[in-house]
Amino acid sequence: MFPWLLLVLSVCARPGTGLPARHMDSLVQILDALESPARGGSPGSVPALARALGVCSTPGCRAVLGEPPEPPPAPAALPPEQWQLLRELLRPEPAAPERGALLAPDGSTVALGPLLAGIEAGLRLGGGSEGPWDPLPALRPPLDPLLAVTVGEVLGTSFLLARGGHGAALGPGGCWDDVDDPQNYTLTGPPTPVPDAVANGAMDGVVLGARLAREPAPLAELLRGYYGTGNGSERGRPPSSYRRRDFGALAGPGKLEEELVAVLELLRVLPPTRGLLEGVGPGEVAAVARRAAGEFTRRYVECPAIVPRCMWGARPYRGTPSPLTLPLGSVFIHHTLEPGTPCRSFRACARAMRSMQSFHQDTRVWDDIGYSFVVGSDGYLYEGRGWHWVGAHTKGYNTRGFGVGYVGDFSAALPDSDALALVRDELLPCAVRAGRILGNYTLHGHRQLGRTDCPGNALFQEIQGWPGFQ
Ligand SMILES: *[C@@H]1O[C@H](CO)[C@@H](O)[C@H](O)[C@H]1NC(C)=O
Ligand SMILES: *[C@@H]1O[C@H](CO)[C@@H](O)[C@H](O)[C@H]1NC(C)=O
Ligand SMILES: *[C@@H]1O[C@H](CO)[C@@H](O)[C@H](O)[C@H]1NC(C)=O
């Protein structure tokens, strides 16, 4: 191509104009084309292309996966908008890693860098597929390449930089400008090297890398199956909504801690990162690794994901909310009755949230949706009034406890066992640990405190066996 034409094209292609949505479906379409011989692509070509475009550009990752190939010309298989989107997504942005993130059908946001690094590590560990692979080097100290390139280096570095106590080392989450046509993702607080999107991408990279190490597969097919497609299937939860559980099974806190020590000791001997560890002895490295593994596991494995208001399309609160004084002593369990069927996708649960909020604001003339939190059957909790504001769920008791509502009518049937466990085994213990409810909290069904059948006979029966029930 003529140099002047390149210049014109790059000037005309302003960011955010006319690019495909930053939705996982856009990536799956791109991978489909790149892997399809009928469209000029070639199977197995994606990992090398991703490396050339910037995946795994940090010193530790390059020590594990090797130096990247030269940047390639635009592949014949991709139209210019798809090629530009892919380049933008994979371009390394150390100060803003969330720019390389996509919205997945389950409503989670996933950074592609650690996801694709995990995929390459998995393929090479399995010796699989048609990549022109060099064998993975045997590093001193020995480390698990899959954990190193996904979560290890970024997590270890984040906690190393944050030691001394100023500032967080994990999070925050963020909001998309438009969940139907996502283009712009904005963090909801001060950035760290591990915003939630990077944590999600890293966990997915470990889960999918481990699967590819056992059995190689075309990547478009792998991601389509793992994330689901479109706005989520009404039929059931996609595997990505189990990422916390599946990652936790592969990398418990003990294993993660060992890995972090190994990664930090590797960074100590690599010239570009040597300075970071100057004056940091082995004892301090061990302490950083313990803290990092513990906090990551508590936040992303043991505690549930809560979909923030911005993601379900909440209207603003009307008037001025009243703050709660934490910790609270009680939790009240509800069912929503209307909607009467459980929601099983992000799209359906977000719609249920919006419809309950309009009912509560417009018909009941409350300030906001009544519940503190709402439980979907898609694997996620949804933020209602949240941890800090008085709700309108249990008349006379709204300042004393949180109101947690299950979407559906549970008079005769129970929520799925996953949805029960989400509150009983995850939300409640995490709320105690975080100081939001007392360790001796009491749990009640709504019907114990007002004239109502809520939370339905079946669910009321069930919660009588939960910790704290009185
Ligand atoms: C994305 O959002 C940021 C912050 O709100 C804004 O400055 C920027 O212009 C937006 N970019 C696009 C492409 O909309
Ligand atoms: C999600 O649903 C909206 C509204 O029906 C639609 O406009 C949008 O294209 C869908 N997104 C995807 C990725 O299918
Ligand atoms: C519950 O715990 C709090 C703080 O630990 C304590 O002040 C309170 O008395 C306890 N309540 C009961 C009923 O034991």
Distance 206 CA to ligand 2 centre (A): 29
Strands 437-445 and 328-335: parallel
pLDDT of residue 131: 64
Which residue CA neighbors atom 8 of ligand 3 most closely? Answer: 440
Q: Domain limits of the chain?
A: 24-302, 310-463
Query: Which ligand sits closest to the CA of 440?
Result: 3
Which residue CA neighbors atom 9 of ligand 2 most closely? Answer: 180
Distance 426 CA to ligand 3 centre (A): 22
Q: Which of 25, 180, 181 best tests ligand 2's pocket when mutated (most atoms within 8 Å of CB)?
A: 180
Which residue CA neighbors atom 11 of ligand 3 most closely? Answer: 440
Residue 440 CA, closest ligand 3 atom number: 1
Tell me if 230 CB under 6 Å of ligand 2: yes
pLDDT tens across 99-124, in order? Answer: 999 999 999 999 999 999 999 999 99
Tell me if 231 CB under 6 Å of ligand 2: yes
Distance 439 CA to ligand 3 centre (A): 8
Residue 438 CA, closest ligand 3 atom number: 2
Distance 182 CA to ligand 2 centre (A): 10
Distance 22 CA to ligand 1 centre (A): 14
Contacts of 298 (CB under 8 A, 6+ apart): 430, 433
> Across the strands, what pairs with 332?
403, 444
Closest CA to 371 of 400, 344, 355, 394: 394
Rounded to an integer, what distance in angstroms lies between the CA atom of residue 385 and that of residue 392?
Answer: 9
Is cis: bond before 239, omega within 30 of 0? no
For the chain, what is the radius of gyration of the CA atoms? 24
Query: Looking at beta carbons, which pairs linking 272-279 to residues 24 or more positions away fall under 8 Å?
Result: 272/59, 273/59, 273/60, 273/157, 276/157, 276/160, 276/161, 277/160
Which residue CA neighbors atom 12 of ligand 3 most closely? Answer: 440
Distance 153 CA to ligand 1 centre (A): 29
Query: Which ligand sits closest to the CA of 345?
Result: 2
Residues in the ligand 3 pocket, defined by CB under 6 Å: 438, 440
Domain 310-463 CATH assignment equals 3.40.80.10: yes
pLDDT of residue 385: 98
Query: Which ligand sits closest to the CA of 21?
Result: 2
Q: Which of 108, 231, 354 best tests ligand 2's pocket when mutated (most atoms within 8 Å of CB)?
A: 231
Rounded to an integer, what distance in angstroms lies between the CA atom of residue 256 and that of residue 153?
Answer: 11
Structure token pair of residue 276 = 């970071």
Distance 440 CA to ligand 3 centre (A): 6
pLDDT tens across 182-231, in order? Answer: 999 999 999 999 999 999 999 999 999 999 999 999 999 999 999 998 77
pLDDT tens across 268-277, in order? Answer: 999 999 999 9
Distance 143 CA to ligand 1 centre (A): 39
Contacts of 271 (CB under 8 A, 6+ apart): 59
pLDDT of residue 165: 73
Q: Which of 184, 187, 188 best tests ligand 1's pocket when mutated (most atoms within 8 Å of CB)?
A: 184
Residues in the ligand 1 pocket, defined by CB under 6 Å: 15-16, 183-184, 186
How many CA atoms within 13 Å lie on the side-chain side of 321? 20
pLDDT of residue 235: 64
Contacts of 139 (CB under 8 A, 6+ apart): 63, 64, 266
Distance 54 CA to ligand 1 centre (A): 23
Which residue CA neighbors atom 2 of ligand 1 most closely? Answer: 184
Distance 35 CA to ligand 1 centre (A): 32
Low-confidence spans in the chain with pLDDT less than 50:
1-16
Distance 432 CA to ligand 3 centre (A): 13
Residue 105 CA, closest ligand 2 atom number: 13
Q: Which of 326, 330, 440 best tests ligand 3's pocket when mutated (most atoms within 8 Å of CB)?
A: 440
**Whether the model pTM is above 0.95:** no
